[in-house]
Structures are given as structure tokens and as C-alpha cells.
Amino acid sequence: MKRIGIDAGGSLTKIAYEENNRLRLKTYSSNRMEEVIQWLKIMAPEASLHVTGGRAEALKNHRSTIFKEFECVLEGTKYLLMEENKLPATEYLLVNIGTGTSFFHQKERLFGTGVGGGLFTGIGAIIAGTSDYHTLVDLASKGDRSKSDLMVSDIYQSSYTPIEASLTAANFGKNQLDTSVSAEDQLAALTQLVGETIVLLASKTAASLGTKEIVMIGGALSGNPLLKQVIASFESMFDYRLTFLEKGSHAGAIGALYYDR
């Protein structure tokens, strides 16, 4: 390995490199930075490091070059859209769901929100007593969010509802003192809150830009089919087309890997 791309984020550290002419990806929790450093020493002691992300300084040494995070995310997304043959025919809104969530259009970051993977793990730790992201995701996949969320159907108990009965009337709107509401149920509701908030922001932003194309990337989508399912469930309600990139969790690291300046 001559070069390694690293996106050292607030929650996850993503790594991208080429081996035998194939793109390889690795992921570490960002609180395991010493393991990342040991892996680099053993596997690629002479490789140049192209580093980005909020914790890039932790990997700063004589072999590293630090790149701007947003530029790497955009470069990596462009690379993946072409590699996965998913390049939209028109311009698109890019939504990067990491520790927080950022929204990009063309080469500009429009705005961001603190609703993302960091909120999920932070509140998830209060609910379940662990901040391990993948454990929380697994627990959420087993839950029933309707036991925690107040649904439209709970309010309109007749056959008629003015809006879709399965929509959320109030996130966590049911009595949480009810012991039948498990940690799994609450984590499923938390995933719903994150997903539907991002969808609402993304759909309105795309509409204001005059585009129907929305591309979703970010570490919070990694190994999290429930979050993808929540986001995708709104596609038929809004006038947009969603694209999830298979390797989108590593867009920043891939952009750093291939970035030349």
C-alpha cells in the first residue's frame, strides 16, 4: 500500500486503500484510535496517509497530509456514483449522515443538523446502557416503534384519518413509564425520529433547489438497514428519487485516498 485514505470522524474512523488493484474498506470506532495506529504500523509502515475528518490531528505525523473534510466527501461521492453506475442524470442534493448530518449541493455545503448518528448513540446509551453503535442498531432492529411513538392511528381511532394513519403524531409520545415499552422499542422509535427528521429536511431542501435527486451517504447508514428503511419509506410521499451508495459510509475516506492537489 502506497497510500491510505482515512476519515477520522466523531463516531467512526473509516479507512480506504487499494490492495491487488481492489478498493478495500475498514471501519473502527473513533474511541479505538490506538488500534488504528497499530494497524497502520503493522500493515502499512511506509504508506502516505491522506487524512480528513474532525479527529484528523490524532493521526498527524511526517507521513500524513490533512485534507478538507467536505472536499473529500464530495470527491468520494463523485467517485462512488461513477463506480456504482448510479450517477444521476441531473444535479442532486447530497446528504451525509454521520455524527451529525450535512447537506451539499454541487460543491457547496448548504447547512447541517445535529440529528444523526451521534444523537442516536448519545440517547441510545441512556436508553440501553451502551454506546456501541452496532449493538444499538441491532437492538433497534428488534423493536416495535409503535409501542413508543404516538401514531396518527392512535389519535384517529375511526376508519378515517386526514393523513396516513402510519405516520408519527409524536415521537416518543406514548407513556414511557409503561414497562412493556422495551429498550428495543424505544431505539426503534429513536431510529424513526432520526430518519424522518432527515427526510423532511432533505425533501424540502431538494424542492427549493428544483431537483428531484437525493443521494444518501454516511457512516450512520453503515450496517443500519432500519435507518435506510425509514428514509426510503417516505419516497412515495414526496416527489424525489433516492440513491443509497453501497460504500457511501466511506465516501470521505475514499475521497481522501484519491484526492490530489
Q: What is the pLDDT of residues 60-111, one digit of tens each?
A: 876 889 999 999 999 999 999 999 999 998 999 999 999 999 999 998 999 9
pTM over the 0.95 mark? no
From the list 78, 16, 85, the residue with the least C-alpha distance to 47 is 16
Residue 166 confidence class, pLDDT cut points 50, 70, 90:
confident
Structure confidence at residue 237 (pLDDT): 87
The pLDDT value recorded for residue 238 is 86
| Residue 219 to residue 135: CA distance in whole angstroms | 15
The per-residue pLDDT for 239 is 83
pLDDT at 261: 52
Position 229 scores a pLDDT of: 96
Cβ atoms of 153 and 161 closer than 8 Å = yes
More confident position, 142 or 33? 142
Cβ burial of 34 (10 Å; 0-12, 13-18, 19+) is: exposed
Say how many CA atoms lie within 13 Å of 192 toward its Cβ: 24
Interval 242-251 mean pLDDT: 95
Inter-residue contact 5 to 253 (CB < 8 Å): yes
In this structure, the chain runs to a length of 261
Q: To the nearest whole number, what is the mean pLDDT of the chain?
A: 91
Give the pLDDT mean for 153-162: 80
CA atoms of 115 and 113, how far apart (whole Å): 5
* Domains (range + CATH), the chain: 3-74+252-258 (3.30.420.40), 88-244 (3.30.420.40)
Q: What is the pLDDT of residues 142-154, one digit of tens each?
A: 999 999 999 998 8
Q: What are phi and psi for residue 25, nearest 5 degrees?
A: -130, 145
Q: What pLDDT was estimated at residue 59?
A: 84
Task: Please say whether the beta carbons of 231 and 242 come within 8 A.
Answer: yes
| C-alpha to C-alpha distance for 228 and 56, rounded to whole angstroms | 28
Catalytic residue positions, numbered: 69
Distances (CA, A) of 78 to 21, 55, 250: 19, 23, 12
Q: What is the mean pLDDT of residues 193-214?
A: 96
